Each structure stands twice: as C-alpha cells, then as structure tokens.
Amino acid sequence: AIGGTAYLAYGVYDQKHPDDQFEPDPTKKNLVILGTGWGAVSLLKKLDTENYNVIVISPRNYFLFTPLLPSCTTGTVEHRSIMEPIRSILRHKKAAVKYYEAEATKIDPERKVIAIDDNSDIKGASNKTEVSYDMLVVSVGAENATFGIPGVKEHSCFLKEIGDAQQIRKKIMDCVETATFKDQSPEEVARLLHMVVVGGGPTGVEFAGELQDFFDEDIKKWVPEISDKFKVTLIEALPNVLPMFSKQLIDYTEATFKEEKITIMTKTAVKKVTDKTVEAEATGPDGKKTIQIMPYGLLVWATGNAVRPIVRDLMSQIPAQKDSRRGLAVNEYLVVQGTKDIWATGDCAVAGYAPTAQVASQEGAFLARLFNTMAKSEAIEHQIHDLSSSLNLQPGNTADIAKEIEAHEKQLRRIKDIKPFHYTHQGSLAYIGSERAVADVSWLNGNFATGGGLTYLFWRSAYLSMCFSTRNRVLVVLDWLKSKAFGRDVSR
C-alpha cells in the first residue's frame, strides 16, 4: 500500500504536458515575466504560452506558499513542503518557457531591455547579461520595511523568504541552548528567552502564535528548566493588532494571546534596535510618551512592505510615476502608467488593494486572460487583413469574402471587449496559536467573522486547498501529522 501511495504521489509529481513542448518561436513577441511569486506564477498557470516567447527571470527558482511560512519557523511544517520548483510548473505548459535564475538589476523602458545578474559564485561562468522584451510583467514583490530605524537591518530577523524562516528556527534553539549553558547569569537567561516580535499585522500575529505553541507543546517538555522564563512579546505601534480584521476578531485575538501568555504592547513604536535591546516609545492613555528598553534574545521584524530598488529605479525613469510612493501605479488593466508594454502585479503594483497573496494571484490570472485574448484578437486581425487583400485580387466572390470579414470583425469586437481588472475579496484568515484561528470571510454576499477551534480546521483546509500542487498538499499533511505524533524537532 505504501509503495502504491508513493507511486501515485510520484505520478502526480511527474505529470507534464501530454504533448512534447514546442520550442520558442523567434517570430513571436518576447513576453518577459519578472518573479516567481504569487502574481507571476498565477499568470504562468493560466497563460497560453504558445502565443509568445515566454521568459521568466527570478533569483528564486521555486514558488513559495507564503501563508504557511510562519509554521516553518518552528518546524510544524518543513520548508520543502511549501516550495514548488519553477521547473516543474513550466513543464506543464504547452510551449516551452525559458527560465533564468537571476536577479533583474535594471529595467530600461527606452531600449526595452532588462539587465540581469545571476549572482553566481561559480568562477568563469557568465553571470551578467541583458534580455530584451516586447511585453514585460513586473511581479518582483516588495522588500521588508524598516523605516530607516537604526539597527533593524543588522540585528533582526525578517519573515519573507525560506532562508528567514530557517534562520529564525535556528535562532530560537540557539537562544534556548545558550540560556541553559553552565553558569549563565539570570539576567542573560531572561534576555535570551525573551522573544520580541515587532508588527501586529497578520505576519507578526501568526508568528507569535506559532512560537508560543512551539514552546508550550515541545520546548517546555524537552527543556523543563526554562518553563517559567520563556516569554513572547508582540509590539504594535497602532492601538490594536490585526487592523484589517473586524473588531470582534481583534478582541478575540487579544484575549487568546492573554490566555497563551503572549504580551501585547500596543501604541508602542520601536525607535531603535541594538544587538541585545529594543528601544520603544509607548503612548499612555493620557497621551504621555515613555521610552522602554527591552533586552531580547530573538527579534522578528514584521512591519510590512517597502519598494524594491529595481522598482524605484523604474519609477524614476517614468514621469507619470512621479507621485507614486508605494510602488508602480497601474491602470485598471494593470498597465504601468506612463508605459504601453509594461504590466505589474502584486506587492510591487499600486492598484488600490492591500498587498496580499489573494490580490496578486487574481491579478496574475487576469493578465493571463488579457494576454490570451490579445493573442487571439491579433490572430483575427491578421485573418481580416489577409481576407481584405484577397478582396482586391478576386473580384468574383467579393460578397462572400465581405461577409466573412464582417463575421470576423464581430468576433474581434466581442473578444476585445475585456472588462477591467476587478478584485473579489474572499476573506482574511489568520492563525493565532493554541489551535485557534480567526476568519473574516465573504460568502454568498454576506460577511462572516469567526474565531476558535473550528475556524482553525477551516484555516487548515483552506490553506491546504490553496497549496500549489498535490505534492505540496501531501507533504504539508504529513508534516502536520508528524509534528502532532512526535512533536516538533528541536535540533538546530
């Protein structure tokens, strides 16, 4: 039976497009996609690649299922379970797609070229070149916002990429093992076991919940001597955490954190970070400001997004982007304003929506529809052109040809009538620890706000169904079962 399951899983994984992929056609337009995140991958999934010469460029040769990234920091889910190789995604396409593992360092909209650098350490290999495009999709995401606060870049961990989650996982165990080292002073033990999370958005809240679970369910068992010293503090500048959720769920989250013994400090803004302390300014109920200095062992910085340098540089070359601050301003067809052949999706685009995976993936799917339609209408335009030329050459059956042209024109008008991008919000979900989750869900024209254990099961099934592939889904379920049965792995 195990062999059968393994064979089935391999079969699903090994699936590729049933026909042999046809090779890129140099007569077609170069469609370059920058990125392998939510926007880029959902575009690739639905794009008819045979219509273009598709080239994907990204320094990350896999798609990362970011909603489960906080679970990776504690080993509830292993990192490979939420990664899907881009090569496996591209194998499913009808026409071959080129992939370059490289960082796009500059976009030149005048010459229509992109400078790329593979940042490789391999000596002698080519690593810097240019790629030209006819159509370009910028889906490069964003970087971590630090607001220029001193010490943040040097001393904190972020939570955006797989490497960040691995670093956090190591650091947690490093703090625990060092705290139990022979003759460690009580002050140093308290510092090492103080885990500070800055930013009360969904990333900070989910991570704080996962971390407290890890401690309550596992670390405490294996290292009982620290059970009364481990402490998680969540710092948020605004008056409450999870501002995008309804009031009832905010209250529920704050009450759950209290039960879990996670300290929430709201109306507290971090101003400075050193290698061992966090300095924050707290505003009291009377409006009085006080400075607090907190020693920490692990500091996780989750205060949202900032614009990537390549995007900022592109914006500086386009006069119409002068007033845009948070990213590339796009129109209702996701065309970068001030350009004709550049589109943007996800966290690097400003389309009037929150920078979420849900928005990026709907934008990617919209662009796939748009590009498929553009190719179709171009083909019809060619047909009309050919028919019109034959109209002059064959005067005998002009009536038939004219009729055919009219039918084509009608079809063309119908196809060209693409509605602008419209985002459908399906809801927000967040895990808050101790097998509870909160959900604000839009369903059947109504909004539902729920929190608790059942919502946690809903959270699990929703995330499972959103996983990229069957392989990812199987691996995540196995990880959940494994960590339930044997506990999370506390080795570094």
Nearer Cβ to ligand NAD (102/159):
159
Nearer Cβ to ligand NAD (98/271):
271
Nearer Cβ to ligand NAD (49/74):
74
The distance of Cα 58 from the centroid of its chain, to the nearest Å, equals 14
Nearer Cβ to ligand NAD (24/201):
201
Nearer Cβ to ligand NAD (36/203):
203
CB of 446 to ligand NAD, least distance (A): 19
Nearest Cα to Cα of residue 297 among 168, 199, 410: 168
Nearer Cβ to ligand NAD (276/425):
425
Nearest Cα to Cα of residue 260 among 200, 192, 214: 214
CB of 39 to ligand NAD, least distance (A): 13
For residues 373 and 367, give the distance between their C-alpha atoms in angstroms, rounded to a whole number.
Answer: 10
The helix/strand/coil state of 45 is helix
Q: How many CB atoms lie within 10 A of CB 118?
A: 17
Binding site for ligand NAD (CB under 6 A): 67, 149, 198-204, 235-238, 243-244, 269-270, 302-305, 354-356, 428-430
For residues 404 and 385, give the distance between their C-alpha atoms in angstroms, rounded to a whole number.
Answer: 12
Q: What is the largest CA-CA distance in the chain?
A: 103
CB of 347 to ligand NAD, least distance (A): 8
Contact 169, 156 (CB under 8 A): no
Nearer Cβ to ligand NAD (13/353):
353
For residues 61 and 161, give the distance between their C-alpha atoms in angstroms, rounded to a whole number.
Answer: 12
CB of 234 to ligand NAD, least distance (A): 9
Q: Sign of dihedral through CA atoms 462, 465, 468, 472? A: positive
CB of 128 to ligand NAD, least distance (A): 32
DSSP 295: E
Nearer Cβ to ligand NAD (235/342):
235
CB of 355 to ligand NAD, least distance (A): 5
CB of 19 to ligand NAD, least distance (A): 38
Residue of minimal CB distance from ligand NAD? 201
For residues 450 and 424, give the distance between their C-alpha atoms in angstroms, rounded to a whole number.
Answer: 20
What CA–CA distances, in Å, run from 425 to 39, 329, 334, 447? 16, 20, 18, 11
Contact 33, 55 (CB under 8 A): yes
CB of 275 to ligand NAD, least distance (A): 18
